[in-house]
A and B are shown apart, each in its own frame.
Chain A
Amino acid sequence: MRENRCREQGWVKVSVADAIVEFDSVGLRYGTGAEILKDLDFRLVRGGFTYLTGASGAGKTSLLKLLYLAQRPTRGRVRLFGEELSHAPRTAMPAFRRRIGVVFQDFRLIRHLSAFDNVALPLRIAGRAEHEIEGSVRELLDWVGLADRSAAHPPTLSGGEQQRVAIARAVVGHPELLVADEPTGNVDADMAKRLVHLFERLNELGTTVLVATHDLSLIAATRGAQLMRLEKGQLVDPTGMLRHPPSPARATG
């Protein structure tokens, strides 16, 4: 699994060194229940754009939890950013989490903070200066069309607005890896297009993007994206070659 792998059409080589995420024989179960994820073996190439699909209950969210370090695998090995993290001490985790942007399916905005403060959180956690935070957050809120709603609190925002705040929070720190769970589930087609464009722009700037979605139009609209499909906790296309093989530019980052 670790040697260079020739992709479907023979002109893209992905080495282990290029991989930002590596899963080897990963399994996950909650408590003493049945395995939710089984024998996951895959790599995400640095700078790649990947969609993850699968029916409800297939294990997409659990897989994402492993990726954004909210869960540890019950077996197998998870490597992120070249580091083996399956058994890493928990004190090491925050530094890795700061390199990952997450868009949660349920947004997870802090209700009593304004949209601005929600978006600013990752930068404040990273200890950035307030004047830097101000500029970055305003710019991003403007980009997602919420410049005039920056003082609003989540309960006063619509579902779509909350989702855009969640996305802004996930990308504000320019993460190396962006993980999004159904990021366009609550926005209209036009906003979905803009958000995908934002993800693509981040991707062009070097962020590796993984988006879990049911939205086939989204997948079709993203040129060069890989597709992974989960069925009953197993990847049915572990090579990521199901559709849209990555362009050479993306694969080599």
Chain B
Amino acid sequence: MRRFVPALADRRLLPQGGTRLTPWLIGVLMFVAVLVGAAGLAIANAAAAVAQGAEQRWSIQLPGGARHASAAAAAARQAQGVADVRPVPDQQVRSLLQQWLGPEAASADLPVPALIDVELRPGANGVDLRRRVLAIAPDARVQSFPEQLGPMLRGLRTLQGLTLGLLVLMAAAIAAAVMLATRGAYDTHRSTVAVLHGIGATDEQLAALFQQRMGREALVGGSAGAIPALVLVLLLLAGLERGTNLAAAGGSPLHPGDLIILGALPFVTGLVALLVARVTVLRALRADP
């Protein structure tokens, strides 16, 4: 559809379209949306990092301590699909426990289970490993990492779902704000619309006037909200990097691609606003003859 007025004239045709509050409202919603989006992406990255390679990693716990450790390790090495078997030294297990139990964990009186880390080849399952280890140590616990990390992963995924739900709610709130603003602008300019309609403007031409304005307002408001939110996210990341060893913890919670996604949110909002305004005006125009 051919545009019937240049961009400057568009603005002159609808000088007070929408409400002055709309860009601010969109800005506030976008500020929160970027923060929620950043949290959601960080959670998704953390869940992915935890789950990465976990399928192949298994753990054998022997409650009897080192009594069956060598035999169990030997049995594990003979199991089908096993790539590597690494008994965890007793000292390492005790130092891990010290974080929770304090210095008493180092006491030889404290019964500490023996741990063996096992890595399977890709595609292998742990059926033969479990069978062989349990034949030697029936009270052993043979578990894959996903089994052990299951509750944590479920928790992370629930949080991820919550952030996604919040983003959907905010998108709906932005769409509702744009719709109300468009209706307001349409009512304000009803007489102008009637004149343009009367002299031959098509519905698409009229809708274009409103959709351009609403798209522009949403882009401006969205950018005004997204930029400070992104700055805040970057500051938080910088603070986190200073306070912790991120490399040891699996790297930064957000990748560069995530920041690009967050930076694109105002443009997506502008497009959504454009579409919502178009549909709103076209529906309103249907009442005319």
Whether B201 lies near A108 (C-beta < 8 A) is no
Of B7-15, B47-55, B89-97, B108-116, the one with at least 4 CB within 8 A of chain A: B7-15
Whether B12 lies near A72 (C-beta < 8 A) is no
Check if B196 is an interface residue, CB within 8 A of chain A.
Answer: yes
**Residues on B close to A: CB < 8 A?**
2-6, 9, 12-13, 15, 191-192, 194-203, 205, 286, 288-289
Of A93-101, A141-149, A184-192, the one with at least 4 CB within 8 A of chain B: A93-101
Determine the chain A residues whose CB is within 8 A of the CB of B4 once the complex forms: 124-127
Name A57-109 residues within 8 Å CB distance of B.
Answer: 68-72, 90-91, 93-95, 97-98, 102, 108-109
Whether B200 lies near A108 (C-beta < 8 A) is no
Tell me how far the C-beta of B126 lies from the nearest C-beta in chain A, rounded to whole angstroms: 66
Of A34-42, A110-118, A212-220, A232-240, the one with at least 4 CB within 8 A of chain B: A110-118
Whether A110 lies near B195 (C-beta < 8 A) is yes
Whether B195 lies near A68 (C-beta < 8 A) is no
Whether B200 lies near A122 (C-beta < 8 A) is yes
Most A Cβ at <10 Å: residue of B2, B3, B13: B13
A70-B289, A121-B196 known; 7 new pairs, CB 8 Å cut-off, are: A68-B198, A90-B289, A91-B203, A94-B197, A102-B199, A125-B200, A125-B205
Q: Mark A164-186, 1 if CB is under 8 A from B, else 0.
A: 00000100000000000000000
Q: Of the candidates A71, A95, A112, A124, which one forms a contact with B289 in the assembled complex, judged by CB atoms under 8 Å apart?
A: A71
**Residues on A close to B: CB < 8 A?**
68-72, 90-91, 93-95, 97-98, 102, 108-110, 112-113, 117, 121-122, 124-127, 130, 169
Determine the chain B residues whose CB is within 8 A of the CB of A169 once the complex forms: 199
Compute how far the CA of A125 lies from the CA of B10 in the bound complex, rounded to whole angstroms: 12
A-B contact list, 19 entries, CB within 8 Å: A69-B289, A71-B289, A93-B289, A94-B201, A94-B203, A97-B199, A98-B199, A98-B200, A108-B195, A113-B12, A117-B9, A117-B12, A121-B195, A121-B199, A124-B9, A125-B199, A125-B201, A126-B4, A130-B6
Determine the chain A residues whose CB is within 8 A of the CB of B13 once the complex forms: 110, 113
Nearest residue (CB) in B for A98 is B200
Whether B202 lies near A94 (C-beta < 8 A) is yes
Nearest residue (CB) in A for B3 is A127
Whether A95 lies near B12 (C-beta < 8 A) is no
Compute how far the CA of A122 lies from the CA of B196 in the bound complex, rounded to whole angstroms: 8
* A70 touching B199 in the complex, CB below 8 Å, given contacts A93-B289, A117-B9: no
Compute how far the CA of A112 lies from the CA of B12 in the bound complex, rounded to whole angstroms: 7
Compute how far the CA of A207 lies from the CA of B4 in the bound complex, rounded to whole angstroms: 24
Tell me how far the C-beta of B25 lies from the nearest C-beta in chain A, rounded to whole angstroms: 25
Tell me how far the C-beta of B201 lies from the nearest C-beta in chain A, rounded to whole angstroms: 5
Compute how far the CA of A94 lies from the CA of B199 in the bound complex, rounded to whole angstroms: 8
Tell me how far the C-beta of B125 lies from the nearest C-beta in chain A, rounded to whole angstroms: 63
Determine the chain B residues whose CB is within 8 A of the CB of A93 once the complex forms: 289
Whether A110 lies near B192 (C-beta < 8 A) is yes
Determine the chain A residues whose CB is within 8 A of the CB of B203 once the complex forms: 90-91, 94
Determine the chain B residues whose CB is within 8 A of the CB of A130 once the complex forms: 6
Whether A95 lies near B199 (C-beta < 8 A) is no
Compute how far the CA of A95 lies from the CA of B199 in the bound complex, rounded to whole angstroms: 10
* A97 touching B198 in the complex, CB below 8 Å, given contacts A125-B4, A125-B205: yes
Most A Cβ at <10 Å: residue of B199, B202, B286: B199
Determine the chain B residues whose CB is within 8 A of the CB of A122 once the complex forms: 199-200
The 6 closest A-B pairs by CB, nearest first: A98-B200, A97-B200, A127-B2, A94-B202, A124-B4, A125-B4
Whether A102 lies near B200 (C-beta < 8 A) is no
* A90 touching B288 in the complex, CB below 8 Å, given contacts A124-B4, A130-B6: yes
Whether B6 lies near A70 (C-beta < 8 A) is no
Whether A95 lies near B5 (C-beta < 8 A) is no
Compute how far the CA of A94 lies from the CA of B289 in the bound complex, rounded to whole angstroms: 11
Determine the chain B residues whose CB is within 8 A of the CB of A126 once the complex forms: 4, 200
Compute how far the CA of A112 lies from the CA of B199 in the bound complex, rounded to whole angstroms: 17
Most B Cβ at <10 Å: residue of A91, A97, A125: A125
Determine the chain A residues whose CB is within 8 A of the CB of B200 once the complex forms: 94-95, 97-98, 122, 125-126
Tell me how far the C-beta of B162 lies from the nearest C-beta in chain A, rounded to whole angstroms: 45
Determine the chain B residues whose CB is within 8 A of the CB of A127 once the complex forms: 2-4
Compute how far the CA of A112 lies from the CA of B194 in the bound complex, rounded to whole angstroms: 15
